[in-house]
A and B are shown apart, each in its own frame.
Chain A
Amino acid sequence: MSSSVDIDDITLTYKGASGGVLALQGTTLNVKRGEFAAVVGPSGCGKSSLMKLVTGLIRPDKGDISVFGDKVRGPVKIAGMAFQNPNLLPWRKVADNVLLPLEIVEPHRHRFRRDNAKYREQVEALLKTVGLSGFGDRYPWELSGGMQQRVSLCRSLIHEPALLMLDEPFAALDAFTREELWCVLRDLWQKLGFTVILVTHDLREAAFLADTIHVMSARPGRIVMTKAVDLPRPRDLEICFEPRFTDIVHELRAKIAEVRQT
């Protein structure tokens, strides 16, 4: 399989009032095309910086990043993003929130008016796959937190991005809703086949969803362990209670405890 994201020995410093803060140093990471990668690590280790670097929102001080073979020089334009906060626009109905990327990304933005009906059908279809059929005409505030996060996922996928970047998207949800959304994401990924980088601090989430888990060290962050998850797919939530699953979670937990010490 060819490579979709290549992070090669990068260094990133944040300039602060009391001198620079070294956020990442010597970070190297490789994600294959169509792979589901998770990045876990102690808080403040620069996981979110990694997201911004890959999408080209910030530039590293040193090192190269390539996305689908092209060096990242500015915002990459083919990535979908979702965060812990759904960040929906309260003045737009759900369907119009999901349509937002199509109003911006080429070539859709030029066809947006002409093909509006077609795009709306796509939105409805996507909402249906996340279990929100018929909610397109509601406003975001009429939806629960979990439903808002589903809409946010739809918005990050409507323009069929080759790369999906998720920054702790389920961290603010209750345990049941979170597990429900794991399955939503699993199904979307299996159906659409995009590449995912999921940043999370939930080890069970990483083990359940990902093909590969990268463990980051405390600041300055770098990858200290890469663990392939060889659980069979499609995975069912029941797998979370099997010994081979808990073994993986234990191993990750031990590694993180170790890097937190140093």
Chain B
Amino acid sequence: MKDLLEKLSPWLFTIAIFALWEAACRIFNFSPFIMASPTQAFGAIIQHWQPLLRHSFVTLWTTMAGFALAVIFGVALGLIVGWSRTIYRGLYPVMIGFNTIPKVAVVPILIMWFGIGEIPAILTAFLISFFPIVVNVATGLATMEPELEDVLRALGARKLDIMLKVGIPRTQPYLFGSLKVAITLAFVGTVVSETIGANAGLGYLIALAGSNFQMPLVFAALLLLAVEGILMYAVFALIEARFTHWAFRSSMSAAA
């Protein structure tokens, strides 16, 4: 009984939130120009399913493209940074400074350079999701056990051997953990960019519907964004569990 409740609890909570939201809308009788109830939002999804599907797809593929770039460059830079202490020390302040800049501030520049369209969205997703990947990959390499390094060096291993045999495999849990964070950030990047300047995507749709006071459509788009985010998070959580099962098991080891 308790197990079943635990299994069902995510669904129960989701339903409860929708029910509360619906009840609040009915009790306070909000104007549909200000706030939409779940029934109105789901109604909008059914009514406008064609444009919603098209814009959802644009947001999904631009996010995935930006995220893919972030993974490629993030892993590469993370390996370089984790490889050498000098590079680590040199690049770290630069990266912190770069990461501190709110990405919203960069979007107008990207739009000036690349015009209205998908490219600024892809690049914003890339810029925002790239940092956690770099930091995690570099941390994974930097926290390698020095004694293990000694064992390998005493066998005549070169730095490259140590990286390939130990460094990179042990970085995997750090990398996959960061991907779950990065994919949600990538959605933030895409939608911010689409809201500021685009002609497609859920962010664009939200801005457009908002200016037309079509609140049900705005909330419909928000719901779809949430669904996309949850789905992608789940995909990467699955990949993580599949590739780094040893990291979860070994921490539970009886003999540490």
Contacts and interface: CB of A to CB of B under 8 A. Distances in A.
B169 interface: yes
B249 interface: yes
A144 B255 contact: yes
Interface string B153-184: 11111000100011001101000000000000
Contacts of B152: 100, 104
Given A85-B145, A91-B246, A145-B255, A75 B161 contact: no
A186 interface: no
A90 B246 contact: yes
A80 B156 CA distance: 11
A104 B153 CA distance: 10
A148 B255 CA distance: 9
Interface in B234-256: 244, 246-247, 249-250, 252-256
B250 A141 contact: yes
B151 A52 contact: no
Contacts of B169: 89, 91
Nearest to B169: A91
B148 interface: yes
Contact of B254 (A90, A104, A144): A144
A81 B151 contact: yes
A89 B166 contact: yes
Contacts, number: 87
A46 to B, nearest CB: 16
Contacts of A103: 161, 165
Contacts of A165: 154
B29 to A, nearest CB: 59
Nearest to B161: A104
B152 to A, nearest CB: 6
Contact of B155 (A52, A140, A145, A159): A159
Interface residues of A, number: 37
A139 B254 contact: no
Interface in A93-126: 100-101, 103-106
A83 B150 CA distance: 10
Nearest to B157: A104
Contacts of B150: 52, 55, 57, 81, 83
B155 to A, nearest CB: 5
Given A139-B246, A141-B250, A148-B255, A87 B148 contact: yes
Contacts of A66: none
Given A55-B154, A75-B153, A83-B147, A143 B247 contact: no
A141 B246 contact: yes
Contact of A87 (B147, B244, B249, B254): B147
Contacts of B255: 143-148
A245 B181 CA distance: 61
A91 B173 CA distance: 11
Report the 4 A-B pairs with minimum CB-CB distance, sorted nearest first: A77-B156, A141-B253, A145-B255, A90-B250
